[in-house]
Amino acid sequence: MDDAAQDLTNRTDMTAYWMPFTANRQFKAAPRMLVSASGMYYRSDDGREILDGTAGLWCVNAGHGRSEIAAAVQHQLMTLDYAPSFQMGHPIAFDFAARLARIAPPGLDRIFYVNSGSEAVDTALKMAIAYHRARGEGQRVRLVGRERAYHGVGFGGISVGGLVNNRRSYPLLTSDHIRHTQDPRNAFARGLPLHGAERADDLEQLVALHGAETIAAVIVEPVAGAGGVLPPPQGYLERLRAICDKHGILLIFDEVITGFGRLGTPFAAQFFGVTPDLMTTAKGITNATVPMGAVFASRKVHDAVVGGGAEGAVEFFHGYTYSGHPAACAAGLATLDIYEREGLFANAAAMAPLWEEALHGLKDAPNVVDIRNVGLMAAIELAPRPGAPAARGYQALVKTFEAGLTVRVAGDIVCLSPPLIINAEQVGRVAEILRGVL
Ligand code: PLP
């Protein structure tokens, strides 16, 4: 550790900060501190370069330290730092929405701003209920999610989420769940697995159980992310879309991770050729520089809600102080410029086959029981230690950090999602570090 870094660590009093989704006592006893970042790399407080295998938290898609974004935010803050978005507007929020609409899946071009993925999810769920109410079907309030889903931490998001630790302690909304799509027949499948599309039919069972007329929406991540990277079985999303159409249920894609190029297309909806009625986004929308999210609504949903009601009445009683924050919009516009100018979605698509090859090359490493990938996402599933689930996963996180790579772990599943600027050499380096750690 160089002197400056040592000094920083010595000076840091860690007691006041209650850290999110962290084993606080364990972390503070042996912290992993990141102090700066540039391009594909973080720098730790002991002066080491650490390859970013996770784009931060699946969000820094254009890589770190983008000066164009910083300049745009600085300029915006000195021009118009903040303005309300309730019954008032400011131009950059409209400009950014128009730009987002240009890359949206077909017809999903009505944009509602929020500040995070969790807020995007709760907003989309409310929109679904508001849509049905506007059409005279106010009894459609049941929300359907999927096992192992992560939809953030709002009460709506945990209700449709499928991760037990996030749910079990809290009161939940009226919800139900379809099964997750992991199927042992698909172990080590490359890209989209062959088996399991029939699990979409679980929705038919819920329709039979509850009645379609009580169900407002189904929400899924097109590729389950935080639950352990589960690419959908071939044909699964198409089947879900068809069942929703049959029963008048809205389909919501949670693209908080898959949005903004992760699969090599702007959104997963375009990658899979399946268009939802609502789409939630966040993270890569500003390259994670300023917190922001957006719900992309279809004209069908937007027009039903905004087109109804009395003249002059607020149509949707929802919004946040920081919806369409000027600094976030400026960051977002500059981010879209970078994605476009540098062809980063195309780079993700070009790197994806190398990524697949490199990670599946770890198949023979000890304790590896499955490897999954799609676009620039991947998971390496490890066998749990007997009687100690998640212990091997946590150790993998610690060891990869020591070896110079960030990973996410979901139990014993090591998850990866590098910035879209990654090159072939860095793909190789990710695999090399993982092999050493495994
Ligand atoms: N939805 C999905 C699919 C996510 O992966 C996440 C975060 O990882 C969220 C929602 C919540 O986003 P946030 O942490 O910005 O609230």
> 231-284, pLDDT tens digit by residue?
999 999 999 999 999 999 999 999 999 999 999 999 999 999 999 999 999 999
Please give the pLDDT value at position 127: 98
User: Which residue among 22, 151, 267 is best mutated to probe the pocket of ligand 1, counting the most ligand atoms within 8 A of its Cβ?
Assistant: 151
Residues of the chain with pLDDT under 70: 1-11
User: Roughly how many angstroms between the first and final C-alpha of the chain, as a whole number?
Assistant: 26
Residue 279: in which H helix or E strand, if any? Answer: strand 278-281
User: Which residue among 283, 285, 290, 408 is best mutated to probe the pocket of ligand 1, counting the most ligand atoms within 8 A of its Cβ?
Assistant: 283
DSSP string, 105-151: STT--EEEEESSHHHHHHHHHHHHHHHHHHTT-TT--EEEEETT---
Cα of 14 from ligand 1 centre, angstroms: 26
**Which atom of ligand 1 has the smallest separation from the CA of 293?**
15
Cα of 257 from ligand 1 centre, angstroms: 7
User: Which residue among 61, 114, 256 is best mutated to probe the pocket of ligand 1, counting the most ligand atoms within 8 A of its Cβ?
Assistant: 256
Give this prediction's pTM.
0.97
Task: Of 264, 145, 297, give the one whose Cα is nearest residue 216.
Answer: 145
Inter-axis angle of helices 424-437 and 391-403, nearest 10: 130
Cα radius of gyration (the chain): 22
Cα of 278 from ligand 1 centre, angstroms: 16
The CATH class given to the 70-341 domain equals alpha beta
- Please name the residue whose Cα sits nearest to atom 13 of ligand 1: 117
**Rounded distance, CA 130 to CA 319, Å?**
14
Ligand 1 site residues (CB inside 6 A) read 116-118, 121, 150-152, 221, 225-226, 254, 256-257, 282
Domain spans in the chain, listed from the N-terminal domain onward: 3-62+343-437, 70-341
Please give the pLDDT value at position 308: 80
**Rounded distance, CA 277 to CA 257, Å?**
18
Please give the pLDDT value at position 3: 60
Cα of 59 from ligand 1 centre, angstroms: 10
Please give the pLDDT value at position 9: 57
Cα of 118 from ligand 1 centre, angstroms: 6
Out of 3.20.20.70, 3.90.1150.10, 3.30.2270.10, 3.40.50.1970, select the CATH number for domain 3-62+343-437: 3.90.1150.10
**Rounded distance, CA 44 to CA 32, Å?**
8
**Which atom of ligand 1 has the smallest separation from the CA of 280?**
1
Please give the pLDDT value at position 4: 56
